[in-house]
Structure 1
Amino acid sequence: MMDHERLTSKERSILRILLESGSLFEDELVEKSPFGREQTIRSVMVLSEIGFVRVEENRWELYSLTEEGKLYMEKGLPERQVLEYILGKRKAQIK
């Protein structure tokens, strides 16, 4: 294990931030760090290698509607539009 005195001031600062804040997502840590993304991540990797920080990698996926998807949500799928048209015509013919 690395001697605490051998840590850089940046690494000690990252440790303090994590001690005060608990677990943080990468963007949150970068926001709290005064060093910028590259230096912050570099310090985290060093701290991880010596066993002071645990990095849990998650794959996050964001789903959103495309313009076509929004159109279908507003008007309905083409199959649904045809079915509604047919049902609407039949109702009109029955009356």
Structure 2
Amino acid sequence: MNPETRSSSGKSLLGVGGLAVLACVACCIGPIVAFLGGLGVLSAVGALWVPALAAVTAGALAATAWVLHRRRRAAACGTAPGPVDLGLPTRSAP
């Protein structure tokens, strides 16, 4: 084999490899940039919504406490304790 042919063949393979790398970068850079951009936008929106979410959480906790208080009050103000009819058959006296 001629050394010049071998050298030329190595350079062409290096060029083809370089073109393959550039094609891969051109193909994959779009989805990667889109994903990272979307992640950044979601982080910014989340940072803006933190005070609103804190207010919603405080409101939900207050509503839960109010409902539990009303249920306890309703249970305490229920009917007087006494015998409860369970609907079971009873024995008749002979």
How high is the TM-score relative to the length of structure 1? 0.34
**RCO higher in structure (CA 8 A, sep ≥6):** 1
Please say which structure displays the higher CA radius of gyration.
2
How high is the TM-score relative to the length of structure 2? 0.35
